[in-house]
Amino acid sequence: MEQLLPIFTYIAVAASAISGALEARKHEMDIVGATTIAFVTAFGGGTMRDLLLGRTPVFWVIDPGLTVTTFVIAVFTFYRLQSFSNRLLIFADAIGLGIFSILGATYALQRDISPIVAILMGVITGIFGGVLRDVLSNRIPSVFGQSTELYATCSFVGTSVFVLINSIPAINTLPASLIGALTVFAMRLLAVRFKVTLPSP
Amino acid sequence: MEQLLPIFTYIAVAASAISGALEARKHEMDIVGATTIAFVTAFGGGTMRDLLLGRTPVFWVIDPGLTVTTFVIAVFTFYRLQSFSNRLLIFADAIGLGIFSILGATYALQRDISPIVAILMGVITGIFGGVLRDVLSNRIPSVFGQSTELYATCSFVGTSVFVLINSIPAINTLPASLIGALTVFAMRLLAVRFKVTLPSP
Amino acid sequence: MEQLLPIFTYIAVAASAISGALEARKHEMDIVGATTIAFVTAFGGGTMRDLLLGRTPVFWVIDPGLTVTTFVIAVFTFYRLQSFSNRLLIFADAIGLGIFSILGATYALQRDISPIVAILMGVITGIFGGVLRDVLSNRIPSVFGQSTELYATCSFVGTSVFVLINSIPAINTLPASLIGALTVFAMRLLAVRFKVTLPSP
């Protein structure tokens, strides 16, 4: 599992960078705006996780490959992606949400943080990049609107599933992680597909 | 005093969680939005303080009880609090403002930070949760508007009173803390009651 | 060079405090808003740099003179500066942008961070104060708008120039720093003067 963490990180960063650059295009920003939003979306959640846990220098500072990857993806998505597709944005965002959630909980558990805080750390790591992306685009983060389909809830449920399965001694961390990330991912796509929202008071 | 710090933290976190959830209801957010705003308001100031001082993992990561408390309060305030009252919001907010301001200065002084920076740390700890709450609700933080009653000023005055009294060798930290927190609290309520604002240029 | 870092920091902090207070006046905030925006603009970039690199307590916590300087400048700019001039705002902002960019890269290189991440750290340190200033004023950060003249780009180019020159063994850090900062500064003023923007997709 240890060796797979960087790979998962790269996938989540790449997916988030795409979603960030697409969102910037929607808002008619220039390439600097698009790159910045891509970086913020890709690095935001993991950075917050590392700061809160005291893991500094943060993850992308010590691995320059992540910066290069995000930069290349942002420029490509901004200039070359012909058909803008809202579906791609939701898909890429859901991948990032799923993997980052599990990574957040994993690093917390590695530090002997209690399970309930590990779940919270998973949710923060999962959603924070997207929240920053939306705040910088100057609108109420979509995750908070009453008309929004389940978002943080998917991260919460999937991370809880991961922490629960992971606590069973007989089960390895890897299958637990995959099940957790897939739960977040599938739940998010189903919520968007069937417009599932939470009840209002 | 040392043993009382966690108790003060719980009171301030609980009060801020109430104010966050009430603010979210005002803005017609769903339960996820309300919970998030409650967490951000309750944890924001102390988290910023811990990060700036290098006290990591931050305070709520190492005490899961704070997460449970905030979650329960957010859900209860959102679904069960019958009569929404603006007065309750201001009251809860003022309690959080008062206690967090003193806690911020206290932890700074414990690290041998100079008194003037300790006062600034108090103000940051006191107001930052509310600033985040307002930024996430997508409006200019009320603390900055010219028509707003004194807010950061109350934190500044009360924290200065605390640092001043605390520097007198004959006086214990506990009475200094209580006087400081009460100064912030009372000054804030009076400012709202009598609509006291600062002079414009 | 080591001994000059605090001096550069003071100049950048002072210039950013002026730009923050002027921006607050534009938005009709009160003195508390102006002071807060001044602090956020002056301390934001360097704070983010220190947090990401794990240099805590952050720079202004251990040097109370920076707090006093920023406070005095904010109050003076808000109440006493007679003729509000947009040119002064751009000038002060460009000074802060130039020096903070180089300081960010310098501290990163001191920690043996790779050059590409050091450049990114320079850009973050340079622009983050201004981004926070704009977010708190509740508008899309000017740095992201398509109609904005080059901003982050100036920081990126100047920091790259610095890192490049600095990597030549025969050249000292001081001249490399000055050339880098002047590149950012001059490029920014020229971009504003001739309304240079980036191409849209």
Identify the chains in contact with A, defined as 3+ C-beta pairs within 8 A. Answer: B, C
Its ipTM equals: 0.87
Give me the mean pLDDT over the C118-137 stretch: 89
C72 belongs to a structural domain: yes
pLDDT digits 0-9 by tens, C166-195:
999 999 899 999 999 999 999 999 999 998
In the prediction, which pLDDT does B80 show?
80
Query: Is B67 within the bounds of a domain?
Result: yes
Mean pLDDT of B110-139: 89
Please indicate whether residue A70 or residue A147 has the higher confidence score (pLDDT). Answer: A70
Q: Do A198 and B31 touch (CB under 8 A)?
A: yes
Percent of chain A with pLDDT over 90: 68
Q: Cα(B122)–Cα(B124) distance, rounded to whole angstroms?
A: 5
Is the confidence at residue C52, as pLDDT, over 90? yes
- pLDDT for C162 beyond 80: yes
pLDDT surpassing 70 at residue C83: no
What value does the mean pLDDT of chain C take? 90
Asked which of A25-29, A102-106, A126-130, A193-197 is least confident by mean pLDDT, the reply is A25-29
Band of residue B200 on the pLDDT scale cut at 50, 70, 90: low
Residues of the domain holding C13: 2-194
Looking at the predicted structure, is the pLDDT value of residue C55 above 90?
A: yes
**What's the rounded mean pLDDT across residues B152-161?**
95
Chain B residues near residue A152 by CB distance under 8 angstroms: 32, 36
CA distances, C169 to each of B151, C35, C116, C166, C172 (Å): 53, 43, 18, 7, 8
Q: Give pLDDT, residue C33.
A: 83
The confidence score (pLDDT) of residue A33 equals 83
Check pLDDT > 60 for residue B78: yes
Mean pLDDT of B130-136: 81
The token pair at A186 is: 């599938």
Q: Which residues of A touch C56 (CB under 8 A)?
A: 56
Averaged pLDDT, C111-129:
95
In this structure, is residue B201 part of a structural domain?
no
Mean pLDDT of B132-154: 73
Q: Which residue has the higher pLDDT, A146 or A181?
A: A181
Q: In Å, how far are A42, B19, B146, B160 from B143, measured between CA atoms?
A: 31, 15, 9, 19
C153, pLDDT greater than 70: yes
For residue A201, is pLDDT > 60? Answer: no
Nearest chain A alpha carbon to C150: A32
- Substitution target in C47, C117, C123 with the highest count of A β-carbons within 10 Å is C117
pLDDT band (50, 70, 90) for residue B81: confident
| Structure confidence at residue A148 (pLDDT) | 72
Residue C49 domain-assigned (yes or no): yes
- What is the count of structural domains for chain A? 1
Testing the interface with C: which of B127, B138, B144 to mutate, by most C Cβ within 10 A?
A: B144
What's the mean pLDDT in B157-185? 95
pTM of the predicted model as reported, rounded to 2 decimal places: 0.91
User: Is B29 within 8 Å of A141 when comparing Cβ atoms?
Assistant: no
Confidence (pLDDT) at C112: 92
What's the CA gap between C57 and B13, in Å, rounded?
24
DSSP B90-106: HHHHHHHHHHHHHHHHH
- Give the pLDDT mean for A112-127: 95
CA torsion B64-B68-B69-B73 (nearest 10°) is 160
- Residues A151-177, mean pLDDT to the nearest whole number: 94
Here the tokens at position C62 are 């251990």
Q: What is the pLDDT of residues C7-51, one digit of tens each?
A: 999 999 999 999 999 988 888 788 888 898 999 999 999 999 999
How far apart are the C-alpha atoms of B134 and C71, rounded to whole Å? Answer: 24
Distance from CA of C29 to the nearest CA of A (A): 19
| CB spacing of B151 vs C29 below 8 angstroms | no
| Cβ-contact A97, A126 below 8 angstroms | yes
Check residue C138 and give its pLDDT: 63
Tell me what the mean pLDDT of segment C89-117 comes to. Answer: 95
Q: What pLDDT, on a 0 to 100 scale, did the predictor assign at position B143? A: 63
Higher-pLDDT residue of A141, A155 = A155
Enumerate the residues of chain C whose CB falls inside 8 A of the CB of residue B160: none
- Give the per-residue pLDDT at A180: 97
Domain-embedded: residue C132: yes
Asked whether the predicted pLDDT for residue B58 surpasses 90, the reply is: yes
Query: Rounded distance, CA A59 to CA C129, Å?
Result: 22
Q: How far is C168 from chain A (nearest CA, A)?
A: 21
**B42 CB within 8 Å of a chain C CB:** no
**How confident is the model over C112-117, as a mean pLDDT?**
95
CA angle in degrees (0–180, nearest 5) for A190-A193-A197: 75
**Cα C195 from Cα C152, distance rounded (Å):** 15
Residues A181-195: what's their mean pLDDT? 94
**Per-residue pLDDT for A146 more than 60?**
no
**pLDDT for B146 beyond 60:** no
Tokens 């520097």 identify what position? Answer: B167
